[in-house]
Amino acid sequence: MTEAQPSSLVRTLASTLWFPMFFIVGFMVCYLLPFHAPAPHHMPVAVIGEQAASQLDAAFGKAMPGGIDVTAVPDEQGAREAITQREAVAAYNPADGELFYAKANGSALLMVLQQVFTPIASTAGHQLVLTDLAPTAPGDVMGTGLFYCLLAMNIPPYVTVMMLLRAALGTRQKLLALVGVGAFATVVCYSVALSMDVIYNQPILLLIGFLLTQAVGWTTFGLVPFVKQFIPGVAMGTFVLLSMPSSSGAIPKELVPAFFQSLHRFLPLGQAVDSMRGILYFNGVGAPPAVLGLAAWWLLGVLLVVFNQLRMRRKQAADPEAVTDAGTYEHEDDSGVVVDPAIEAPKPAHHHTLAGTVLATGGAPVPGAIVTVTDSTGTQLAHLVTSNSGEYEVHDLPGTHVTVVVSAPGMRPAVDRVAVRPGRVAGHDFVLEPEPGHHRSAARAR
């Protein structure tokens, strides 16, 4: 039986548990941190009149530095246009205490705006009057329904890639499956949202939703050969942990820290939120750049896939056996089905195995012989004894050369350097010669 070494145990635990540990820390940093106390961070607000805007800007600068960015507009028409053109999230008229806003930007934003402008209007002798210039669809009461529909198109493509990596399918088949899942998710989410009045009937949203699924799916798939077993952390970190707080879907981007705000326009989920809200509530304002961003993500995924295929074909042409053994190129199983390599951390499975038999010079098996395996640095990888039939078997060895030392009482030790090929069982037998007295000579191994 192989003895577990402390260093091997640490490596096994680290390779197995790094993702849940990453997920725990990621949730604290990317969810608790930006969401625990929503507050304005460079929130754009328009104010009618140069003098009033200057006064409020100075007051906000003292009360909440960096919280609200004030822009002056000449009249009520300018205030309304600032909202509908998505240049500001609110516009205040100091003459009568009227606050223009868009519920489509999120209910949480309205609550913060009321807290900020109610005392300002009261000080001027007015009662704050709220005017909604972009109300949400009847079924999206909290203004977050659209966001949850998009989550159902943002997360499944990542999950699909993780599942497809285990499937006995070729790359082309997997990519077609990814397209199919994206189309299914888009149609289902659109139909359900429409039936619940969460959105208005805008068929172009189907295209945007599909672009989101492919942007996430293809990019994740394309990154697999480059980040290998770390793909869960890379994909989940990019498309979930960082995307959700920066998307402006659940909590408006104006209420999260500047770091997450800066990611909003670059990550697919935020681009999908921007484009769909623009089409649904702002006559398409802001939608084209966001749609182009989604298309750019999809194109990035396509380029990654194509680049890796070309790279692997060159490697296979140069050294077919090395590429196949390394598990980085498509290969055929026993049934002739083209399968992709397993992109996972090493498992306690029968990979990189060394096996053989220890015999005496007459061909009889040597039970109880001690077999010690070390790597190139001299670190012990395994220490075991042979079975009653003289056989030994060692799993989970590195895919390189190892040194094997075999010894038994009354026999001269045998030492040999053995090549362990990845994904193959390496067979290596040893023949031990009897030791005459205390004389030591070179051991012979075959």
pLDDT: is 180 or 330 the higher one?
180
- Are both 295 and 176 inside the same structural domain? yes
Q: In whole angstroms, give the CA distance from residue 2 to residue 395.
A: 9
Assess whether 310 and 359 both reside in one domain: no
Last residue within a domain, chosen from 132, 165, 183: 132
* CATH number for position 101: 3.40.190
Residues 161 and 260 in one domain: yes
Closest CA to 154 of 235, 35, 265, 257: 235
Domain boundary among 97, 132, 167: 132
Check residue 94 and give its pLDDT.
Answer: 96
**Residue 343 forms part of a structural domain:** no
> Mean pLDDT over residues 321-340, rounded?
40
Residues 83 and 199 in one domain: no
For the chain, the C-alpha Rg in angstroms (whole number) is 32
pLDDT tens-digit map of 91-142: 999 999 999 999 999 989 999 999 999 999 999 999 999 999 999 999 999 8
Expressed as residue numbers, the domain containing 164 is 145-318
Q: Range with the lowest mean pLDDT among 32-41, 165-174, 342-351?
A: 342-351
Tens digit of each residue's pLDDT (9 = 90 or more) over 366-378? 999 999 999 888 8
Q: Is residue 68 in some structural domain?
A: yes
Same domain, 293 and 379: no
Q: CATH number for the domain including 395? A: 2.60.40.1120
The type of residue at 348 is P
Q: Other CB atoms closer than 10 Å to residue 302's CB: what's the count?
A: 16
Same domain (yes/no): 122, 197: no
Task: Grade residue 435 by pLDDT with cuts at 50, 70 and 90.
Answer: confident
In-domain check, residue 18: no
State the total domains in the chain: 3
Among 79, 97, 132, the domain boundary falls at: 132
CB neighbour burial string for 63-101, b if at least 16 within 10 angstroms, e if fewer: eeeebbbbebbeebeebbbbbbebbbbbbbbbeebbbbb
Contacts for 217 with CB less than 8 Å, ≥ 6 apart: 157, 158, 160, 161, 178, 181, 182, 301
3-class SS of residue 1:
coil
Render pLDDT for 390-403 as a digit per residue (tens, 0 to 9): 999 988 888 778 89
219 & 151 share domain? yes
pLDDT the model gives residue 175: 95
Same-domain pairing of 110 and 183: no
The pLDDT assigned to 270 comes to 97
Residue 78 lies in a domain: yes
CA–CA gap between residue 69 and residue 41 (Å, rounded): 9
Tell whether 150 and 266 lie within a shared domain: yes
pLDDT attached to residue 408: 93
DSSP state of 365: B
- Residues above pLDDT 90, as percent of the chain: 68
Relative orientation angle of helices 171-195 and 204-227, to the nearest 10 degrees = 140
Q: How does pLDDT run across 275-303, given as a tens digit for each residue?
A: 999 999 999 999 999 999 999 999 999 99
Residue 174 lies in a domain: yes
Structural domain contains residue 230: yes
Q: 314: pLDDT confidence band, cut at 50, 70 and 90?
A: confident
Mean pLDDT score, 74-92: 97
Paired tokens of 219: 């990019």
Looking at the structure, do residues 165 and 251 belong to the same domain, yes or no? yes
pLDDT of residue 438: 45
pLDDT in tens, 333-357: 333 333 344 444 444 444 578 899 9
Q: Is residue 323 part of a domain?
A: no
Regarding whether 128 and 96 lie in a shared domain, the answer is yes
**Residues in Cβ contact with 198 at an 8 Å cutoff, skipping those fewer than 6 apart:** 137, 139, 140, 145, 146, 149
Look at residue 398 in the predicted model and tell me its pLDDT.
81
Q: Is the pLDDT of residue 320 over 60?
A: no
Same domain, 153 and 115: no
The answer to whether residue 182 is domain-embedded is yes
Determine the average pLDDT of the residues in 202-216.
98
- pTM as predicted: 0.73
Three-state SS for 86-120 is CCCCEEEECCCCEEEECHHHCHHHHHHHHHHHHHH
d(CA 313, CA 336): 19
How far CA 343 is from CA of 33, 144, 175, 340, 400, in Å, comes to 32, 36, 16, 9, 19
